[in-house]
């Protein structure tokens, strides 16, 4: 038997204790945001039939061609770990009749899986938060989902650090006509196309616009632009969306080369990008996918949504030093019996404090040890305060509150005064 240690799969990360408070902070802000806009959470399985993704995302996209974790289960069915959330959300909404003559505003969060080359901001298991709305075709809902995402940046103190890029992909007819124009242009510049682009020329020529190859940049900059070939309805839709964003004070950059990697998008597409994360600069991406429900066998119903990558969001908060103290998961108080004789008293006091002060984050010293080692543990706990309970304290009903991080004299307090003092200190912290 091999004794080699088994390690995690490349590109799939453990979330360790020193990071979990930050994740919980971000997740908490997301949940609050969704409540503020009246969006309902939906949770779907992480495994679906492979056909769901092939049919929705598109056979000739990067995701379906080379990134999916697909396997046969014991019945011989082809299953896939979800590479994104929209397809599953649409499947579930259709399956449970959530889309019959009604509008829906849904959100989800959870792990997604793509077999990509792992690097900073790009992993094989990563986490997304997504929003999907159904049954609304006007630019008002496009504006709402963009404003919702903008508010998340504001809640997190990030709004000044991200840029909204916007484009319209028009109707499928306009896209088909444009595709021909574009292919003709690329054929004129055949010698400038790289291998990837030559392959896409017949399968997915719009995606060539998305190429990051610097040798092609000049040729791509001169390519015909879809935004100049929009159908009238899509043009009006786009102009109205821009007007709503202007009215709401949201700046944006129109990027005619923004095409998105998934086939189901039409009309509005957008991305929130940052320059602070190197080449993994897209934090959030979305758009309108009016054709998807029908494509998956339902009655046609308009839809718009987005997904954001939590790892990139967290990297951004860390890179820009925007992690608030409350997201560091620090303890307020470490309670220590000065010796074993005070154990019971301290344990009971800890419980009483937790009952009286529900917001208090308190940890009890367990496991005995010398006085010195107890004090050391109090310090290492990261708590701001330590409460020492000794024999004297047991006799007099008082305990000693020590300030571990501030230059302040310790206080000897009875229980009532202790609760008042802690309560004041906690309020001070929150402010």
**Cβ atoms of residues 364 and 347 within 8 Å:** yes
Among 31, 115, 122, 225, binds ligand ATP (CB under 6 A): 122
Among 39, 53, 108, 123, binds ligand ATP (CB under 6 A): 123
CA distance 55 to 295: 8
State the Cα torsion 388-394-398-403 to the nearest 10°.
0
Site track 229-268 with ligand ATP (rule: CB under 6 A), x = hit: --------------------------------x-------
Q: Give the range of 20-28, 170-178, 303-311, 395-403 binding ligand ATP by CB under 6 A.
A: 303-311
Degrees to nearest 5, angle at CA 224 with 221 and 225:
85
Among 139, 302, 305, 309, binds ligand ATP (CB under 6 A): 309
CA distance 64 to 53: 7
DSSP string, 165-222: EEEE---HHHHHHHHHHHHHHHHHTGGG--HHHHHHHHH-GGGGGG---GGGHHHHHT
Task: Give me the least distance between CB of 272 and ligand ATP, in Å please.
Answer: 8
Q: Give the range of 276-284, 290-298, 364-372, 416-424 binding ligand ATP by CB under 6 A.
A: 276-284
What radius of gyration, in Å, describes the C-alpha atoms of the chain?
Answer: 28
| Residue 262 or 378 having the CB closest to ligand ATP | 262
Among 238, 282, 316, 402, binds ligand ATP (CB under 6 A): 282
CA distance 170 to 230: 5
| Residue 181 or 280 having the CB closest to ligand ATP | 280
Is 84 an interacting residue with respect to ligand ATP (CB under 6 A)?
Answer: yes
Show contacts of 189-197: CB within 8 Å, 24+ apart: 189/219, 192/216, 192/219
Among 285, 335, 362, 413, binds ligand ATP (CB under 6 A): 285
Task: Give me the least distance between CB of 60 and ligand ATP, in Å please.
Answer: 15
Is 132 an interacting residue with respect to ligand ATP (CB under 6 A)?
Answer: no
DSSP string, 332-380: SEEEEESSGGGHHHHHHHHHHHHHH-TT--EEE--S---HHHHHHHHHH
| Residue 280 or 345 having the CB closest to ligand ATP | 280
Is 88 an interacting residue with respect to ligand ATP (CB under 6 A)?
Answer: no
| Residue 90 or 383 having the CB closest to ligand ATP | 90
Among 55, 105, 114, 402, binds ligand ATP (CB under 6 A): 114
The 3 state secondary structure assigned to 228-291 is HHCCHHHHHHHHHHHHHHHHCCCCCEECCCCCCCCCCCEEEEEEEECCCCCCCCEEEEEEECCC
**Cβ atoms of residues 308 and 129 within 8 Å:** yes
Is 116 an interacting residue with respect to ligand ATP (CB under 6 A)?
Answer: yes
CA distance 212 to 218: 11
Strand partners, 113: 125
The pair of structure tokens assigned to 307 is: 């997904």
CA distance 131 to 98: 15
| Residue 121 or 337 having the CB closest to ligand ATP | 121
Site track 410-429 with ligand ATP (rule: CB under 6 A), x = hit: --------------------
Q: How many residues line the site for ligand ATP (CB under 6 A)?
A: 19
Closest to 378 measured CA to CA, from 428, 332, 329: 332
The pair of structure tokens assigned to 5 is: 């240690």
Is 110 an interacting residue with respect to ligand ATP (CB under 6 A)?
Answer: no
CA distance 115 to 69: 7
Q: Give the range of 34-42, 306-314, 341-349, 359-367 binding ligand ATP by CB under 6 A.
A: 306-314
Site track 343-362 with ligand ATP (rule: CB under 6 A), x = hit: --------------------
Is 307 an interacting residue with respect to ligand ATP (CB under 6 A)?
Answer: yes
| Residue 168 or 346 having the CB closest to ligand ATP | 168
Task: Give me the least distance between CB of 70 and ligand ATP, in Å please.
Answer: 16
Q: Give the range of 85-93, 123-131, 138-146, 377-385 binding ligand ATP by CB under 6 A.
A: 123-131
| Residue 313 or 399 having the CB closest to ligand ATP | 313
Task: Give me the least distance between CB of 374 and ligand ATP, in Å please.
Answer: 43
CB count within 10 Å of CB 49 equals 13
User: Which backbone phi and psi does 30 adopt, to 5 degrees?
Assistant: -65, -45
Is 311 an interacting residue with respect to ligand ATP (CB under 6 A)?
Answer: yes
Binding footprint of ligand ATP on the chain (CB under 6 A): 84, 114, 116, 121-123, 126, 128, 261, 280, 282-285, 307-309, 311-312
């Amino acid at each position: 038997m091999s004794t080699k240690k088994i390690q995690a799969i490349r590109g799939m990360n453990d979330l360790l204790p020193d990071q979990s408070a930050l994740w919980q902070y971000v997740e908490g802000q997301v949940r609050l945001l969704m409540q503020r806009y009246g969006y309902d959470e939906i949770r779907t399985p992480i495994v679906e039939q492979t056909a769901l993704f092939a049919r929705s995302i598109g056979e000739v996209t990067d995701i379906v061609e080379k990134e999916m974790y697909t396997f046969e289960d014991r019945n011989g069915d082809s299953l896939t770990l979800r590479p994104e959330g929209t397809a599953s959300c649409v499947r579930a909404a259709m399956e449970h009749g959530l889309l019959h003559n009604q509008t829906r505003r849904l959100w989800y969060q959870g792990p997604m899986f793509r077999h990509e080359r792992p690097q900073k901001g790009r992993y094989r298991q990563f986490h997304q938060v997504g929003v999907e709305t159904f049954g609304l075709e006007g630019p008002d809902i496009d504006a709402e989902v963009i404003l919702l995402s903008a508010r998340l940046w504001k809640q997190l103190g990030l709004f000044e650090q991200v840029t909204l890029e916007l484009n319209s992909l028009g109707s499928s007819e306009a896209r088909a006509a444009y595709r021909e124009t574009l292919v003709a242009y690329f054929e004129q510049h055949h010698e400038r196309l790289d291998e990837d682009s030559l392959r896409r020329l017949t399968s997915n020529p719009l995606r060539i616009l998305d190429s990051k190859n610097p040798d092609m940049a000049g040729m791509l900059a001169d390519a015909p632009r879809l935004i100049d070939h929009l159908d009238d309805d899509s043009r009006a839709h786009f102009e109205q969306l821009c007007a709503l964003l202007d009215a709401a004070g949201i700046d944006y950059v129109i990027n005619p080369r923004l095409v998105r990697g998934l086939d189901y998008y039409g009309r509005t597409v957008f991305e929130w990008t940052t320059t602070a994360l190197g080449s993994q600069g897209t934090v959030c991406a979305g758009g309108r996918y009016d054709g998807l429900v029908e494509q998956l066998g339902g009655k046609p119903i308009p839809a718009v949504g987005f997904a954001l990558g939590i790892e990139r969001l967290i990297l951004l908060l860390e890179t820009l030093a925007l992690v608030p103290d409350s997201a560091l998961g620090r303890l307020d108080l470490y309670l220590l019996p000065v010796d074993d004789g005070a154990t019971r008293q301290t344990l009971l006091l800890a419980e009483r404090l937790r009952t009286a002060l529900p917001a208090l984050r308190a940890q009890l010293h367990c496991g005995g040890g010398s006085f010195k080692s107890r004090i050391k543990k109090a310090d290492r706990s990261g708590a701001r305060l330590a409460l020492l309970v000794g024999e004297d304290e047991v006799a007099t009903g008082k305990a000693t509150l020590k300030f571990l991080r501030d230059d302040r004299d310790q206080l000897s307090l009875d229980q009532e005064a202790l609760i008042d003092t802690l309560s004041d200190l906690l309020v001070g912290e929150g402010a």
